[in-house]
């Protein structure tokens, strides 16, 4: 989910639209911006899905941070790990329980029940392992400090603007401006 903040500078009249977060595709040494909510459709052109791109370390998340000192906005890139695990873990679990049902226990229905109950946690564990693996393999250091003044005192734009008095730095005239509109896209 992303939020678009429209800004309008009272001093110079400049208008901007700041997006809280967007996905980027790492492709041939560059980053290609993916438009929300059509990411999956765009990725199809590259023979990818969101999850395929994520598990290959090709999906990045660009998150807008605002600086508490100067009000400047910085786009911070980070690796977006897969949000779905593989199905290997859960399938192994089902096989194990089936073997147990056939060879050891004489109550296969109970095993089916245990298998079904175990499926959800198995998927969670599997997802956790997939994310960890992708982050270890493709992760890179993320620097959230302000790209305008260098201050480390930043926070996510969406949190920054939850304070209605917060003002952003106008990129045209350098004045502080107030957000004049916001819209949510899910
Ligand atoms: Zn700053
Ligand atoms: Zn301005």
pLDDT in tens, 135-163: 999 999 999 999 999 999 999 999 998 88
Distance 143 CA to ligand 1 centre (A): 13
Distance 167 CA to ligand 2 centre (A): 12
pLDDT in tens, 56-107: 999 999 999 999 999 999 999 999 988 776 667 777 777 777 777 777 777 7
Q: Between 72 and 184, name the one with better pLDDT.
A: 72
Q: What is the dihedral of CA 165, 171, 172, 177, to 10 degrees?
A: 0
Predicted TM-score (pTM) of the model is 0.76
Number of domains composing the chain:
1
With a CB cutoff of 8 Å and minimum separation 6, the contacts of 8 are 14, 15, 177, 180
Distance 11 CA to ligand 2 centre (A): 5
Proximal ligand: closest to the CA of 7: 2
Distance 7 CA to ligand 2 centre (A): 10
Residue-number span of the structural domain to which 100 is assigned: 2-185
pLDDT at site 86: 67
Contact between 102 and 179 under an 8 Å Cβ cutoff? The reply is no
Proximal ligand: closest to the CA of 65: 1
């Amino acid at each position: 989910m992303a939020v678009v903040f429209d800004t309008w500078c009272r001093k110079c009249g400049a208008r901007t639209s700041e997006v809280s977060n967007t996905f980027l595709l790492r492709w041939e040494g560059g980053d290609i911006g993916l438009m929300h909510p059509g990411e999956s459709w765009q990725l199809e052109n590259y023979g990818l899905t969101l999850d395929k791109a994520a598990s290959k370390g090709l999906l990045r998340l660009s998150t807008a941070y605002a600086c508490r000192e100067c009000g400047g906005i910085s786009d911070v890139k980070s690796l977006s790990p897969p949000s779905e695990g593989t199905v290997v873990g859960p399938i192994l679990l089902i096989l194990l329980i089936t073997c147990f049902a056939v060879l050891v226990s004489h109550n296969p229905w109970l095993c089916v029940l245990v298998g079904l109950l175990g499926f959800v946690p198995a998927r969670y564990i599997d997802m956790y392992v997939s994310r960890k693996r992708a982050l270890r393999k493709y992760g890179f250091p993320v620097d959230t400090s302000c790209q305008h003044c260098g201050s480390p005192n930043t926070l996510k734009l969406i949190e920054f603007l939850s304070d209605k008095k917060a003002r952003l730095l106008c990129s045209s005239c350098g004045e502080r401006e107030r957000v004049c509109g916001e819209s949510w896209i899910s």
